[in-house]
Chains A and B, each alone.
Chain A
Amino acid sequence: MSATTATSTVKTTRFWTRAHGFGIFYLTVALITLVAALTRVSPDTISRLGLGVIGQPPPVRISFPTQLSLVIIGVLLGLAGLYSLVRPIGEREVNVLLGFSFGMIVLAALVAAAADKSIDMVGMIKDSLRLATPITLGMLAGVMCERCAVVNIAIEGMMLAAAAVGYMASLYTQNMWIGLLVAVLAGGVMAALHAVLSIRFMVDQIISGTVINILAVGVSGYIRTAFLLKNPFGAPGLFPYVFQKTPLWDIPILGAILFQYQPMVYAAMILVPVVWFVLFRTPWGLRTRAVGEHPRAADTLGINVFKVRYVNVILAGCIAGLGGAWFSLETVGHFDDLMTNGRGFIALAAMIFGNWNPIGGALGALLFGFADALNFKFQILEVGVPYQFIGMLPFILTMIAVAGIIGKTTPPAADGEPYQKQ
């Protein structure tokens, strides 16, 4: 009925499609890679990437000339960029190119970082997976909310509150697992508040999310001073490594890559396919997506829109709670103010990056995790590229992805709209 319906159907050729956005990005990176390779790297520099057990000389070590490798990668990226820009390509090809190009970018970063040095690949993979965990869990929380059309910018707050409350519980009960349970519940409670505000009171969901984020800072900070600082007990420690006492732990290379993690990493790995399955292969998921796309129609079909939204949002909060536990109970072993440090917003970016799909989002999270890992590596190795720029990469990528998704129906159609029964 409105003017916007009329405009959306006019066939105009927008320049800013997803393919073009990424195309320009690939070309830019290709250019930077080529220029850097030809001007900053001497031809006889060698990069070494090792595969092996941490702390021991790697049994497998690949060495190759840095400059030549970077030039090859740069040319390949340039071709991908040109292809994206020149050819009118479909969704599938865009995604294939995206995967390919990011593989190339990752490789380029590694090769550059390993110039004249040796980088332990196993360590990189492990760090990436580990650092991707809170982002993945937060991303899943985002996907579950937004698939039923509740915008969630409060992932950060849910994780922060869960980290604090979960840690407090584990401290007072001296039991990590009760701490984990309480963290999950705390995430759920914060999400329930978001749900009540945005579903029952129809508060603008971004304002509601802002409320949760500020509240979480206050609550967690208050808990820290009021309860944690004068803690009468010893710290409860960290989650144990799941496979530590099993033979799997000692499998060369593979054991390190797959079996040397703490439980939240596995929780994330398992939840990604589970959430995908629930959303896309079960009646509940179908109902959720129907509510996200067209709540009125879903209501007409007898689906309880409010129930679907409440359940999804609260479950999403519980998943974010697992993410919170990753910080205080799995990684650090105590609670710091603002310890989530923006990971909740990065999770949001990963969700958008992955087109509101858990699998795509997980790949996004992995990319961001890798950027984090690389960030640390660069700081330690003192590579020529400032680590802040590596850290910026995910945010720039997200902006490109968001600019590119327009004109497609990727985000759930009713995302952000409160529902009112008529």
Chain B
Amino acid sequence: MQSRNTAPVSVPVRIGLVTDVGKIDDGTFNQYAYEGMTRAAEEFRLETTYIETARPDDGADNILTLIEQGYQVIITVGQMLGEVTERIATDHPDVNFVTIDFAPYPVLPNVMGLLFAEDQAGFLAGALAGYMTQSNVLGVIAGDRIPPVIKFRKGFTNGAKHVNSKVRVLSEHVKSFTDPEKGRVMAQSFIEQGADVIFGAGGETGSGGIRGAAEQGAWVIGVDQDEWVTTFEDGQAPGSDRLLSSAIKRVDNAVYAAIRRAVEGQFVGETATFEAGNEGIGLATYHAAESAIPEEVKGRIDEIAAGLRSGTVTTGVGPSGEDVAETLWDRIKSWRWSELAVLALAVFTAVLIGAAIIWVTRASELRGAGETWGQVIPQANRLVLAAYGGLFEGAIGSPKALVTTLTYCTPYILAGLAVALGFQCGLFNIGAEGQLYIGALAATFVGFTVTGLPTYIHLPLAIAAGMLAGAVWGAIPGLLKATTGAHEVINTIMMNYIAVKTVDYLVKNPLKDPTASLDRTPFVAESARYPLLSTQYGLHMGFLLALVTIVFVWWFLFKTTWGFEIRTVGANPSAAQYAGMSVSRNFVLAMGLSGALAGLAGIGIVLGRPSEYALKAAFSSGFGFDSIAVALLAKSHPFGIFPAAFLWGALRNGAGLMQVRAQGISIDLVSIIQALVIMFIAADQIIRWLYRMRARREAMVVFTRGWGG
């Protein structure tokens, strides 16, 4: 088979193409890719072939078939084939791959990923629509929620708003790219809601929609290719005169360029982005709508295109479809005020129910003792007031109470940050408890075995050891999830028990202080203890450290590339994969950091509190679940952690005085209130329904994806 090659082996002459599900004359980007290949083949006299993928599962076999047939450059179309291509490319380093809409990560020497700035194409289309609309209502029929489609949609919306502030954009994602009927139905519904320009960005679904809309006389805009040629059959189809233009991804140019580099021996494994600047995207000609579009509008569109090319106009959409907030005002506007109201109402409602519980308890008791309602009611009321008065006073009623609350809330801050960081990556770390134990264990060990160092060396050393241990303990479930897909929830729960039992064993046997009657380690050296901020009330440096950590975690999550990757993986793992990020690496990283933070929480308890300074067998309990509650209350945002942790610390600290003031009321009332708070935050529909607030439409981050990941 190889013998027919007369050219040097390094110069490829046989090019194969595997389509996304669909055919090479689908009128969308399979066809464009095919045309790019054909153009290159004619120009460089190459031998080409293609396989049309019938079902999503066939992609891998099709690629392997081409490899077996001796094709040296293989073009795979569509994000769905991206990962498959990546894997096969690793096993076949001698074959070059060009993959469209996918960025391999890490970069492979034999794979070239071609990405497009769909947001720019959408932005131009949106600007055109914004100028042409009379009703100021636009419609977008979008395909499945994958990054290219999201970028088209958001780009369109932002483009329309860029030129027309009154415009309103209706949009809907359809799960299928091959459902023209659904597209038609959706177009109909948009028109009924007043839309007079419809943008179809969802393969055949979108094409069906714009054909239907055009037949009814609405302006329409196509996508990917010039749909005048495809969907509207070179202007033969009814409604062709209503097609304004199409937001084009020049897949043909991109494929042609990639093949040319391969032929010229310049093939480099990298990700190339095609955008306005290199003619990778653009608007198609206006065809029959040419005369209907005012010259002024055409001029403005050209200006915007030039602005996109030079970078003076930006679309406000990031590389994987995320919003890029630009000004401070945008950011403040994007705060979800109603969510803050829900949080406050959740706490308020939980406190109210707590009051009802106290009231009912007391009332039933007194009724049982035979008193009349007239006697019962005032007494029950008094108890409620006494209980909450005590809770309040015990928590923040005096300097001592306030400082103690701060001491209480320190581990909640750190463990809450740990869970929140996991949440940001889409991971549910129920293992804070175990990581806290292991962190405390390692720090204590360094604290009492090493002696003779000054504090400024010994204490950081102990902290580092503890955080490292916590990080390792946390990273294990992350690694297991990344490599085997095992769900982190089950593994972190299991590792909690393993940690507690390990500490139990060590503290009772090899690390036990032989002089102590209690099962505990020896006391840590003076030099390994946190300096006290207030010797009177026992507030230690750990509190300040926790505040610094909040800022650090915020900076890390929102200002660094690593943090950006973690958040992207958490928001949408497939989008992250698309953008070239390693989901596995981020799982391990996020769990490791989470474990380090939880470890720090444990370190603070042992090295910080004068009542501790040594590790006891059961030195903490309940931090695992409490920290989840804190993170939920904070909506996983580092700056939300402090108020949430403060509330938790205050409830815990005030519970003592509450019990004193309201005899017979258990401190466990606090746990009930806490559980209700989380319940109302998790099921905020209850709160919105109770207080007649508008419903929220966005979905939350999903953690439960079955145990197998």
Q: Which residues of A come within 8 Å of B, CB atoms?
A: 1-7, 9-12, 14, 16, 151, 153, 197, 201, 203-208, 210-215, 217-222, 224-226, 230, 337, 342, 345, 348-349, 352, 386, 388-389, 391-392, 395-396, 398-399, 402-408, 410-417
Q: Are A406 and B56 in contact (CB under 8 A)?
A: no
Contacts of B79 in A (CB 8 A): 3
Contacts of B357 in A (CB 8 A): 222
Q: Are A415 and B706 in contact (CB under 8 A)?
A: yes
Q: Mark B538-576, 1 if CB is under 8 A from A, else 0.
A: 000000000000000000000000000000000000100
For A9, A211, A386, which residue has the most chain B Cβ atoms within 10 angstroms?
A: A211
Q: Are A218 and B678 in contact (CB under 8 A)?
A: no
Q: Are A392 and B678 in contact (CB under 8 A)?
A: no
Q: Give which listed residue, A214, A226, A395, contacts B625 with CB less than 8 A.
A: A214
The answer for the CA separation of A391 and B668 in the assembled complex, in Å, is 29
Q: Are A416 and B706 in contact (CB under 8 A)?
A: yes
B675-699 interface with A by 8 A CB criterion:
675-676, 678-679, 682-683, 685-686
CB distance from B93 to the nearest CB of A (A): 17
Contacts of B490 in A (CB 8 A): 348-349, 352, 398-399, 402
Q: Are A1 and B144 in contact (CB under 8 A)?
A: yes
Q: Mark B354-373, 1 if CB is under 8 A from A, else 0.
A: 00010001000000000000
Contacts of A348 in B (CB 8 A): 490, 493
Contacts of A403 in B (CB 8 A): 480, 484, 486
Q: Mark B76-112, 1 if CB is under 8 A from A, else 0.
A: 0001111110010000000000000000000000000
Contacts of A201 in B (CB 8 A): 682-683, 685-686
Q: Is B489 an interface residue (CB 8 A)?
A: yes
The answer for the CA separation of A151 and B430 in the assembled complex, in Å, is 15
Q: Give which listed residue, A12, A204, A215, A389, contacts B505 with CB less than 8 A.
A: A389
Q: Is B533 an interface residue (CB 8 A)?
A: no
Q: Is B171 an interface residue (CB 8 A)?
A: no
Contacts of B574 in A (CB 8 A): 2-4
Pick 19 A–B contacts, CB within 8 A, sort by A: A1-B175, A3-B577, A6-B57, A7-B87, A9-B60, A14-B484, A201-B683, A207-B682, A217-B622, A221-B666, A222-B672, A224-B668, A345-B493, A396-B498, A402-B487, A402-B491, A405-B486, A406-B486, A407-B485
Q: Tell me what chain B mostly uses at the interface: helix, strand, loop, or mixed.
A: helix
Contacts of A205 in B (CB 8 A): 704
Q: Are B674 and A415 in contact (CB under 8 A)?
A: no
CB distance from B635 to the nearest CB of A (A): 13
The answer for the CA separation of A226 and B358 in the assembled complex, in Å, is 10
The answer for the CA separation of A207 and B419 in the assembled complex, in Å, is 13
Closest to A151 in B: B704
Q: Are B485 and A3 in contact (CB under 8 A)?
A: no
A399-B480, A402-B486 given. 12 additional CB < 8 A pairs?
A: A3-B79, A4-B574, A6-B60, A151-B704, A210-B430, A215-B672, A218-B671, A226-B664, A386-B505, A402-B480, A402-B490, A402-B491
Q: Are B686 and A415 in contact (CB under 8 A)?
A: no
Q: Are B498 and A392 in contact (CB under 8 A)?
A: yes
Q: Are A398 and B176 in contact (CB under 8 A)?
A: no
Q: Are B678 and A211 in contact (CB under 8 A)?
A: yes
CB distance from A19 to the nearest CB of B (A): 13
The answer for the CA separation of A361 and B236 in the assembled complex, in Å, is 66
B633-687 interface with A by 8 A CB criterion:
664-676, 678-679, 682-683, 685-686
Contacts of A415 in B (CB 8 A): 704, 706-707
CB distance from B430 to the nearest CB of A (A): 8
Contacts of A405 in B (CB 8 A): 486, 707-708
Q: Are B703 and A214 in contact (CB under 8 A)?
A: no
Contacts of B706 in A (CB 8 A): 151, 411-417
Q: Are A225 and B664 in contact (CB under 8 A)?
A: yes
The answer for the CA separation of A56 and B57 in the assembled complex, in Å, is 67
Q: Give which listed residue, A207, A215, A352, A406, contacts B709 with CB less than 8 A.
A: A406
Q: Are B176 and A1 in contact (CB under 8 A)?
A: yes
CB distance from B628 to the nearest CB of A (A): 6
The answer for the CA separation of A403 and B494 in the assembled complex, in Å, is 13
Q: Are B484 and A16 in contact (CB under 8 A)?
A: yes
Contacts of A6 in B (CB 8 A): 56-57, 59-60, 80-81, 83-84
Q: Are A9 and B57 in contact (CB under 8 A)?
A: yes
CB distance from B522 to the nearest CB of A (A): 20
Q: Are B703 and A1 in contact (CB under 8 A)?
A: no
Contacts of A210 in B (CB 8 A): 430, 625, 628-629, 678
Contacts of A14 in B (CB 8 A): 484
The answer for the CA separation of A12 and B81 in the assembled complex, in Å, is 16
Closest to B506 in A: A388
Count of chain B residues with a beta carbon within 8 Å of a chain A beta carbon:
73
The answer for the CA separation of A197 and B706 in the assembled complex, in Å, is 18
CB distance from B692 to the nearest CB of A (A): 17
The answer for the CA separation of A221 and B673 in the assembled complex, in Å, is 13
Q: Are B707 and A411 in contact (CB under 8 A)?
A: yes
Q: Are A395 and B678 in contact (CB under 8 A)?
A: no
The answer for the CA separation of A11 and B625 in the assembled complex, in Å, is 40
Q: Are B505 and A211 in contact (CB under 8 A)?
A: no
Closest to B361 in A: A226
Q: Are B491 and A399 in contact (CB under 8 A)?
A: yes
Q: Give which listed residue, B80, B485, B494, contacts A399 with CB less than 8 A.
A: B494
7 A-B pairs with least C-beta separation? A221-B668, A218-B671, A225-B666, A416-B704, A218-B672, A215-B675, A415-B706
Q: Give which listed residue, A222, A389, A407, A416, contacts B668 with CB less than 8 A.
A: A222
Q: Give which listed residue, B483, B674, B679, B708, contacts A411 with CB less than 8 A.
A: B708
Contacts of A222 in B (CB 8 A): 357, 666, 668-669, 671-672
Q: Is B306 an interface residue (CB 8 A)?
A: no
Q: Is B23 an interface residue (CB 8 A)?
A: no
Closest to A232 in B: B368
Closest to B621 in A: A338
Contacts of A9 in B (CB 8 A): 56-57, 60
Q: Are A1 and B56 in contact (CB under 8 A)?
A: yes
Q: Give which listed residue, A391, A406, A414, contacts B485 with CB less than 8 A.
A: A406
Closest to B505 in A: A388
Contacts of B493 in A (CB 8 A): 153, 345, 348
Q: Are A7 and B84 in contact (CB under 8 A)?
A: yes
Q: Is B48 an interface residue (CB 8 A)?
A: no
Q: Are A10 and B84 in contact (CB under 8 A)?
A: yes
Q: Are A342 and B577 in contact (CB under 8 A)?
A: no
Q: Is B44 an interface residue (CB 8 A)?
A: no
The answer for the CA separation of A153 and B703 in the assembled complex, in Å, is 13
Q: Are B505 and A5 in contact (CB under 8 A)?
A: no
The answer for the CA separation of A408 and B485 in the assembled complex, in Å, is 11
The answer for the CA separation of A16 and B80 in the assembled complex, in Å, is 25
Q: Are B483 and A16 in contact (CB under 8 A)?
A: yes
Contacts of A220 in B (CB 8 A): 668
Q: Give which listed residue, B146, B361, B502, B709, contacts A392 with CB less than 8 A.
A: B502
Q: Is B348 an interface residue (CB 8 A)?
A: no
Q: Are A388 and B504 in contact (CB under 8 A)?
A: yes
The answer for the CA separation of A399 and B504 in the assembled complex, in Å, is 20
The answer for the CA separation of A253 and B686 in the assembled complex, in Å, is 57
Q: Is B162 an interface residue (CB 8 A)?
A: no
Closest to B629 in A: A214
Q: Are A3 and B83 in contact (CB under 8 A)?
A: yes
Q: Is B168 an interface residue (CB 8 A)?
A: no
Q: Give which listed residue, A5, A12, A398, contacts B56 with CB less than 8 A.
A: A5
Closest to A11 in B: B60
The answer for the CA separation of A191 and B6 in the assembled complex, in Å, is 73
CB distance from B661 to the nearest CB of A (A): 14
Contacts of B676 in A (CB 8 A): 215
CB distance from B709 to the nearest CB of A (A): 7
Contacts of A398 in B (CB 8 A): 490, 494
Contacts of A410 in B (CB 8 A): 708
Q: Are A217 and B671 in contact (CB under 8 A)?
A: yes
Q: Give which listed residue, B489, B509, B665, contacts A153 with CB less than 8 A.
A: B489
CB distance from A380 to the nearest CB of B (A): 16
Contacts of B146 in A (CB 8 A): 2
Known: A207-B632, A406-B709. A218 touches B175 (CB 8 A): no
Q: Give which listed residue, B57, B485, B622, contacts A5 with CB less than 8 A.
A: B57
Q: Is B501 an interface residue (CB 8 A)?
A: yes
